[in-house]
């Protein structure tokens, strides 16, 4: 026996929301946690390529991270920047979490290809597969952290500079749909630690994430 | 032909003609209506209305599987394109972007009428400071990219508030740009049929349109892809169409099959095609009379009732068999009284079903009474007149004599019956807890595989079949909406406390006019809003000048007309409102589906809390537990059917007392019947097959058919001189074989209602004959001459 209007209602409801919300969450997440998707560009010198390979190896060796972060967003529609802060967690090979504590709690988790957002006691999840435009970004991040160099080459043009002790990566998306929202990502770091992730969006808005101290559990 | 015969034939022809006209003009149905109550409470009638006419009765979920995501998406788009112009389909949803965009635009455009947060307080300096401050934290969060484009026009994020109030707990998945199942293996399409739930022809047209659109959409694809793609669909319209087709097909096929089998048997026995034809005259007359009686007594004839026509073949064919095989010189004086008593006991049994509140049962009762009476009367008054002067049927005396010797041996083994009775009673006692099936689904004609597909597609579409609805009745639309609002206010705290997962309401997209008007009146004029913004934005990272688009939008909203149901037509939100705000026979109903947390069933405690919350709203609302209600309804029918069947049994015993005037004779007639019912029930219990209402009807049929056998044995014991015992035995065996064939065929039906009946009656009547034989009274000595007279 069928339960009447429920089915239809759920359909409508489902149709309406989560998609844009979580889709944006995916992008937001990527914009913020950024990660170091690294592929040596053709222009690199042999030296830099070697350093880059070493960096990738070091990053892949880290199995776990738990750090604080602060974030500053410059939006054209506002007169002053927005500040937020919280913690970042990473567990190899494919679990990432961004826990924003101030000014508003939000928990964003990427795990086994599922992305979920929890805000105000509401949790929403989507499969990354449903957002093909976001897959390259996420996959590059995951593959980098897992040390999978080949998987990255597809999605970004990477400009590596600096030394292992102090390096900078500039990532430019090659996929047109991703490019529409993200112009480029600049990541700086020291050996196997990321220090800042700066994302510049196509509309000129920027967000800068600065990694702070390690959180001792 | 005698003058009396002529008169009987004339009357028969006239009656048959009238009955045929009535039967042709009757309305037939095959939906669930046979299982719905005639006398219902307000709750139950709403339930029934929802099941038959409700919005969910219009929904088809279709799935495209195979090949790759791109190919499935291409077919999904093609199908949607074709179906949008199909008159049988009201709305189609394959999750494409354009449609979602339309819905989002609607919500954004009407946000100040729809958002529950809109109040005069929101637009004061303090209210704006709090709301915009909160909005900035959303802007800084992962949802920032979503709200950023709207922020300057909607800085308090009313659009987001509306969207979040919809409780979207699950994401809708998509692949290659169209809606897909969570595992990504199927593209999904939701279609809403134009035809109502009761209009099965209309539903069938919609189902056919979907199938055709799939066939047309894949036609252009390469053949390898075409072969890989499969289409399936489910939902109430599909199931209704399928079950009607099943019932229709089975009624014809099974009736045809059992008639053919019985014809073969009788041809083997009679060796006379003419007599065979005559045998079916009472059967056909009875079936016609039955349909005509039901058409007169009820507004519609149910397909299932026609299915029972098969059962009538089983019993009414017996009368002619007795007439032809026993062909006693004086049928009227020796055989007819026994048949007459048999018919009367059957009628007595079936009459007990007439007062049932379950239309399926009372239709069956009326059908059987009219059918059996007509068949018996035709056998008694019409057939003898048509008999050829020289009847050439094979003489079954030899077979009968063998049966007579067998009878003696059977009687010697009658002690075994005590053992059987004990065994059956023990089995029934051991299984007493799980004897009855209490689920209405046990009667559903829907095949298990169809049911599985339905569950799969529902799961894929994220539309589990939980069935709790708060129903609010009101005289008009506005009152219904206001009442729904009152109920919603009481339910919200339960959602916050986690008692329930959430609820839906038509007021989300169509608030009562009074509510809309209050919201509109709380919007301040531009000058006031600017001043309040100036003050409220102190300390926030933006100035009032930036929010000029917001001021303009509020100004526009102050002038905009209120939202009416008609304004929602054309977007998918309108479908939601149409589903939740329905015009019933007596005014309007607003429906608020309540979901449990984690899409499970609501706990008893949660149900109690919802009930008390609903009661506290004091607007005449009620919580319906649809499946529970349906099962309760069915349990009620089952209890009633058992009571009625017992009443019918008592009626039969009383009738036998009046006719036979001997407790010993009555006991001898009743004992084999009771014992075979007991044995069949015990067998079902031992096999773990829960008994349904149709098993009860089947047991009544065992008594009705079996009583004929027992009465013939009884007659043989009392007045052997008046008939030939071997011929009586032979006729009983042939009659029983015919009955077992008719019901045995039914037992293999895929329609549970018919299968239950068949699997009860076929073995039951066989046992009734056997037991009646074993308990037969000692036959008085007869001379062979007397026997062969």
Residue B216 has pLDDT above 90, yes or no: yes
Q: How far is A172 from chain B (nearest CA, A)?
A: 19
Nearest to A12 among B51, B184, B576 (CB): B576
Q: Is the CB of residue B36 less than 8 Å from the CB of residue B574? A: no
In the structure, what pLDDT confidence band is assigned to residue A147 with cuts at 50, 70 and 90?
low
Range of the domain at B399: 3-30+239-444+630-788
Mean pLDDT is lowest, of A32-41, B324-333, B395-404, B712-721, for A32-41
- Please answer yes or no on whether B467 and A1 come within 8 Å at the CB atom: yes
- Among A45-54, A108-117, B299-308, B657-666, top mean pLDDT goes to B657-666
Q: How far is A92 from chain B (nearest CA, A)?
A: 23
* Residue A7 within any structural domain of the chain: no
> Between residues B522 and B400, which one has the greater pLDDT?
B522
Q: How far is B50 from chain A (nearest CA, A)?
A: 6
Instruction: Of B156, B147, B145, give the one whose Cα is nearest residue B121.
Output: B156
| Residue of chain A minimizing CA distance to B55 | A5
* Residue A11 within any structural domain of the chain: no
Written as six digits, the tokens of B289 are 């009379």
- Please answer yes or no on whether A6 and B171 come within 8 Å at the CB atom: no
| Residue of chain B minimizing CA distance to A122 | B169
| Cβ-based contacts of A7 with chain B (< 8 Å) | 56, 59, 61, 458, 461, 463, 465
A172 C-beta neighbours (distance < 10 Å), count:
15
- In sequence order, the 6+-apart residues with CB closer than 8 A to the CB of B650 are none
- Please answer yes or no on whether A10 and B59 come within 8 Å at the CB atom: no
Written as six digits, the tokens of A143 are 């593959």
A82 touches chain B (CB under 8 A): yes
Paired with A206 in beta bridges are A74, A200
HSE (CB half, 13 Å, CA atoms) of B692?
20
Range of the domain at A171: 17-214
Domain count for chain B, please give it: 1
A214 touches chain B (CB under 8 A): no
In the structure, what pLDDT confidence band is assigned to residue B672 with cuts at 50, 70 and 90?
very high
* Residue B153 within any structural domain of the chain: no
| Cβ-based contacts of A29 with chain B (< 8 Å) | 142
- Please answer yes or no on whether A103 and B168 come within 8 Å at the CB atom: no
In the structure, what pLDDT confidence band is assigned to residue B555 with cuts at 50, 70 and 90?
very high
Q: How far is A33 from chain B (nearest CA, A)?
A: 11
| Cβ-based contacts of A1 with chain B (< 8 Å) | 32, 51, 440-441, 444, 467, 626-627, 630
DSSP string covering B235-294:
SHHHHHHHHHHHHHHHHHHHHHHHHHHHHHHHHHHH--HHHHHHHHHHHHHHHHHHHHHH
* Alpha-carbon dihedral angle through residues B697, B699, B703, B708, given to the nearest 10 degrees: 80
Q: Give the C-alpha distances (Å, rounded to integers) separating B453 from B52, B93, B250, B449, B630.
A: 21, 20, 22, 6, 22
pLDDT at A41: 41
pLDDT at A68: 92
Q: What are phi and psi of A182, to 5 degrees?
A: -110, 125
* Residue B116 within any structural domain of the chain: no
Q: What is the rounded distance in angstroms from the CA atom of residue B40 to the CA atom of residue B45?
A: 6
A46 touches chain B (CB under 8 A): no
pLDDT at B641: 85
pLDDT at B109: 92
- In sequence order, the 6+-apart residues with CB closer than 8 A to the CB of B109 are none
| Cβ-based contacts of A34 with chain B (< 8 Å) | none
Domain count for chain A, please give it: 1
- Please answer yes or no on whether B192 and A8 come within 8 Å at the CB atom: yes
Residue B560 has pLDDT above 90, yes or no: yes
Mean pLDDT is lowest, of A118-127, B39-48, B411-420, for B39-48
Q: Is the CB of residue A90 less than 8 Å from the CB of residue A96? A: yes
In the structure, what pLDDT confidence band is assigned to residue B673 with cuts at 50, 70 and 90?
very high
By the 10 Å C-beta count (0-12 exposed, 13-18 middle, 19+ buried), B600 is classed as exposed
Paired with A90 in beta bridges are A65, A96
Angle between helices B309-326 and B336-351 (to 10 degrees): 170
* Residue A1 within any structural domain of the chain: no
The H or E element containing residue A199 is strand A193-201
- Please answer yes or no on whether B184 and A103 come within 8 Å at the CB atom: no
* Long-range pairs, B6-15, Cβ under 8 A, ≥24: B6/B385, B8/B381, B8/B382, B8/B385, B9/B382, B9/B385, B9/B386, B12/B285, B12/B378, B12/B381, B12/B382, B15/B289, B15/B374
pLDDT at B620: 79
* Residue B300 within any structural domain of the chain: yes
Q: What is the pLDDT of residues B494-537, one digit of tens each?
A: 888 888 877 888 888 899 999 999 999 999 999 999 999 999 99
* Residue B350 within any structural domain of the chain: yes
Q: Give the pTM.
A: 0.65
In the structure, what pLDDT confidence band is assigned to residue A137 with cuts at 50, 70 and 90?
low
Q: Is the CB of residue A169 less than 8 Å from the CB of residue A160? A: yes
B539 torsion bin: left (phi>0), alpha (psi -120 to 50), beta (else) = left
Q: How high does pLDDT run on average in chain A?
A: 71
pLDDT at B327: 64
CATH number reported for the structural domain that contains residue A175 in this entry: 2.50.20.10
* Residue A190 within any structural domain of the chain: yes
pLDDT at B58: 80
Mean pLDDT is lowest, of B562-576, B635-649, B655-669, for B562-576
| Residue of chain A minimizing CA distance to B103 | A16
- Please answer yes or no on whether A129 and B440 come within 8 Å at the CB atom: no
Residue B617 has pLDDT above 70, yes or no: yes
Q: Is the CB of residue B163 less than 8 Å from the CB of residue B182? A: no
Q: How high does pLDDT run on average in chain B?
A: 83
Q: Give the C-alpha distances (Å, rounded to integers) separating B703 from A23, B207, B379, B650.
A: 68, 44, 21, 11
Mean pLDDT is lowest, of A169-183, B148-162, B430-444, for A169-183
Q: What is the rounded distance in angstroms from the CA atom of residue B514 to the CA atom of residue B310?
A: 60
In the structure, what pLDDT confidence band is assigned to residue B121 with cuts at 50, 70 and 90?
very high
pLDDT at A43: 42
Residue B299 has pLDDT above 70, yes or no: yes
Residue B604 has pLDDT above 90, yes or no: no
Q: What is the rounded distance in angstroms from the CA atom of residue A181 to the CA atom of residue A203?
A: 8
Q: Is the CB of residue B378 less than 8 Å from the CB of residue B8? A: no
Give the ipTM of the model, two decimals please.
0.74
pLDDT at A198: 86
Residue A30 has pLDDT above 70, yes or no: no
| Residue of chain A minimizing CA distance to B175 | A130
pLDDT at B332: 72
- Among A161-175, B131-145, B284-298, B742-756, top mean pLDDT goes to B284-298
Q: What is the rounded distance in angstroms from the CA atom of residue B396 to the CA atom of residue B405?
A: 14
- Please answer yes or no on whether B139 and A75 come within 8 Å at the CB atom: yes
- Please answer yes or no on whether A181 and B163 come within 8 Å at the CB atom: no
* Residue A68 within any structural domain of the chain: yes
* Residue B502 within any structural domain of the chain: no
- Please answer yes or no on whether B59 and A24 come within 8 Å at the CB atom: no
Q: Is the CB of residue A190 less than 8 Å from the CB of residue A74? A: no
* Residue A37 within any structural domain of the chain: yes
Residues 128-157 of A with CB under 8 A from B: 129-130
Residue A20 has pLDDT above 80, yes or no: no
Q: How far is B323 from chain A (nearest CA, A)?
A: 47
In the structure, what pLDDT confidence band is assigned to residue A31 with cuts at 50, 70 and 90?
very low
- Among A8-17, B37-46, B259-268, B566-575, top mean pLDDT goes to B259-268
pLDDT at B268: 87
In the structure, what pLDDT confidence band is assigned to residue B143 with cuts at 50, 70 and 90?
confident
Mean pLDDT is lowest, of B44-48, B124-128, B304-308, B431-435, for B44-48
In the structure, what pLDDT confidence band is assigned to residue B470 with cuts at 50, 70 and 90?
confident
User: CA B736 from chain center: how many Å?
Assistant: 32
pLDDT at A34: 33
A206 touches chain B (CB under 8 A): no
B640 C-beta neighbours (distance < 10 Å), count:
18
* Residue B770 within any structural domain of the chain: yes
Instruction: Of A19, A2, A22, give the one whose Cα is nearest residue B457.
Output: A2
pLDDT at A145: 65
Residue B64 has pLDDT above 90, yes or no: yes
* Residue A176 within any structural domain of the chain: yes
Q: What is the mean pLDDT of residues B385-408?
A: 78
* Residue A44 within any structural domain of the chain: yes
* Residue B54 within any structural domain of the chain: no
């Amino acid at each position: 026996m069928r339960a009447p209007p429920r089915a239809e209602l759920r359909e409508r409801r489902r149709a309406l929301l989560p998609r844009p919300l979580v889709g944006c969450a995916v992008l937001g997440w990527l914009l913020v946690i950024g990660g170091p998707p690294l592929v040596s560009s053709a222009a690199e010198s042999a030296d830099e390529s070697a350093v880059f390979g070493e960096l990738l190896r070091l990053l892949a060796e880290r199995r776990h991270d738990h750090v604080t972060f602060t974030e500053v967003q410059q939006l054209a529609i506002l007169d002053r920047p927005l500040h937020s802060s919280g913690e970042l967690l990473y567990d190899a090979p494919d679990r990432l979490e961004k826990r924003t504590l101030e000014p508003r709690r939000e928990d964003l988790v990427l795990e086994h290809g599922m992305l979920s957002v929890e805000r105000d006691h509401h949790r929403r999840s989507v499969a990354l597969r449903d957002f093909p435009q976001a897959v390259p970004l996420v996959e590059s991040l995951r593959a980098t952290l897992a040390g999978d160099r080949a998987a990255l080459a597809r999605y970004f043009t990477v400009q590596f500079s600096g030394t292992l002790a102090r390096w900078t990566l500039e990532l430019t998306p090659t996929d047109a749909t991703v490019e529409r929202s993200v112009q480029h990502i600049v990541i700086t770091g020291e050996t196997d630690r990321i220090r800042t992730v700066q994302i510049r969006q196509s509309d000129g808005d920027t967000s800068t994430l600065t990694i702070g101290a390690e959180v001792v559990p | 032909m005698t003058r009396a015969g002529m008169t009987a034939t004339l009357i028969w022809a006239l009656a048959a003609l009238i009955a045929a006209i009535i039967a042709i003009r009757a309305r037939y149905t095959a939906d669930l209506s046979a299982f719905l109550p005639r006398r219902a409470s307000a709750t139950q009638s709403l339930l029934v209305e929802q099941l038959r006419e409700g919005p969910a009765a219009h929904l088809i979920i279709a799935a495209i599987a195979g090949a790759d995501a791109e190919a499935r998406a291409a077919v999904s788009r093609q199908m949607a394109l074709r179906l949008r112009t199909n008159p049988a389909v009201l709305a189609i949803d394959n999750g494409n972007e354009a449609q979602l965009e339309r819905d989002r635009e609607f919500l954004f455009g009407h946000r100040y009428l729809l958002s529950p947060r809109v109040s005069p307080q929101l637009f004061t300096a303090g209210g704006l400071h709090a709301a915009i401050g909160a909005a900035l934290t959303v802007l800084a969060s992962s949802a920032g990219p979503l709200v950023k484009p709207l922020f300057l026009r909607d800085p308090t994020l009313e659009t987001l508030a509306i969207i979040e109030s919809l409780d979207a707990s699950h994401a809708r998945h998509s692949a290659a740009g169209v809606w897909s199942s969570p595992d990504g293996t199927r593209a999904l399409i939701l279609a809403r049929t134009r035809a109502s739930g009761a209009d099965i022809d209309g539903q069938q047209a919609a189902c056919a349109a979907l199938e055709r659109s799939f066939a047309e959409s894949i036609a252009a694809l390469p053949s390898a892809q075409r072969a890989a793609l499969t289409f399936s669909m489910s939902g109430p319209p599909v199931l209704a169409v399928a079950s009607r087709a099943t019932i229709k097909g089975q009624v014809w096929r099974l009736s045809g099959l059992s008639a053919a089998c019985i014809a073969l048997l009788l041809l083997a026995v009679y060796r006379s095609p003419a007599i065979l034809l005559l045998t079916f005259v009472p059967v056909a007359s009875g079936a016609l009379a039955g349909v005509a009686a039901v058409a007169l007594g009820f507004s519609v004839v149910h397909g299932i009732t026609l299915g029972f026509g098969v059962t009538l073949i089983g019993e009414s064919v017996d009368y002619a068999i007795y007439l032809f095989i026993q062909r006693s010189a004086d049928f009227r004086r020796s055989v007819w009284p026994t048949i007459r008593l048999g018919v009367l006991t059957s009628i007595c049994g079936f009459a007990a079903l007439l007062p049932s509140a379950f239309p399926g049962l009372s239709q069956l009762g009326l059908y059987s009474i009219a059918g059996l009476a007509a068949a018996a009367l035709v056998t008694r008054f019409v057939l003898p007149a048509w008999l050829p002067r020289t009847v050439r049927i094979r003489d079954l005396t030899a077979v009968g004599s063998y049966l007579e010797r067998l009878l003696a041996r059977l009687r010697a083994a009658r002690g075994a019956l005590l053992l059987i009775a004990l065994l059956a009673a023990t089995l029934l006692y051991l299984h007493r807890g799980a004897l009855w099936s209490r689920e209405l689904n046990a009667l559903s004609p829907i095949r298990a595989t169809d049911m599985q597909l339905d569950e799969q597609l529902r799961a894929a579409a994220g539309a589990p079949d939980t069935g709790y609805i708060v129903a609010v009745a009101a005289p008009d639309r506005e009152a219904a909406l206001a009442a729904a609002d009152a109920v919603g206010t009481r339910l919200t705290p339960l959602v916050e406390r986690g008692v329930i997962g959430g609820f839906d309401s038509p007021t989300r997209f169509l608030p009562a006019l009074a509510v809309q008007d209050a919201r509109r009146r709380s919007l301040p004029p531009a000058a006031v809003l600017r001043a309040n913004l100036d003050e409220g934005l102190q300390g926030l990272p933006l100035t009032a000048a930036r929010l000029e688009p917001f001021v303009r939008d509020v100004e526009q909203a102050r002038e905009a007309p209120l939202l009416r149901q008609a304004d929602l037509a054309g977007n998918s939100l309108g479908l939601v409102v149409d589903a939740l705000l329905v015009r019933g026979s007596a005014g309007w109903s607003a429906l608020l589906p309540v979901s449990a947390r984690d899409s499970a069933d609501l706990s008893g405690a949660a149900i109690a809390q919802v009930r008390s919350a609903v009661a506290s709203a004091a607007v005449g609302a009620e919580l319906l537990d649809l499946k529970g209600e349906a099962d309760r309804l069915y349990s009620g029918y089952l209890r009633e059917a058992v009571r009625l069947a017992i009443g019918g049994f008592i009626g039969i015993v009383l009738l036998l007392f009046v006719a036979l005037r001997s407790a010993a004779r009555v006991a001898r007639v009743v004992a084999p019947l009771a014992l075979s019912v007991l044995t069949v029930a015990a067998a079902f219990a031992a096999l773990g097959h829960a008994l349904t209402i149709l098993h009860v009807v089947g047991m009544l049929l065992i008594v009705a058919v079996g009583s004929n056998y027992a009465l013939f044995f009884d007659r043989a014991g009392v007045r052997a001189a008046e008939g030939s015992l071997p011929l009586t035995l032979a006729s009983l065996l042939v009659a029983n074989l015919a009955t077992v064939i008719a019901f045995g065929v039914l037992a293999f039906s895929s329609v549970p209602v018919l299968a239950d009946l068949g699997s009860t009656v076929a073995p039951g009547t066989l046992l009734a004959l056997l037991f009646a034989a074993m308990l037969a009274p000692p036959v008085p000595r007869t001379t062979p001459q007397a026997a062969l007279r």
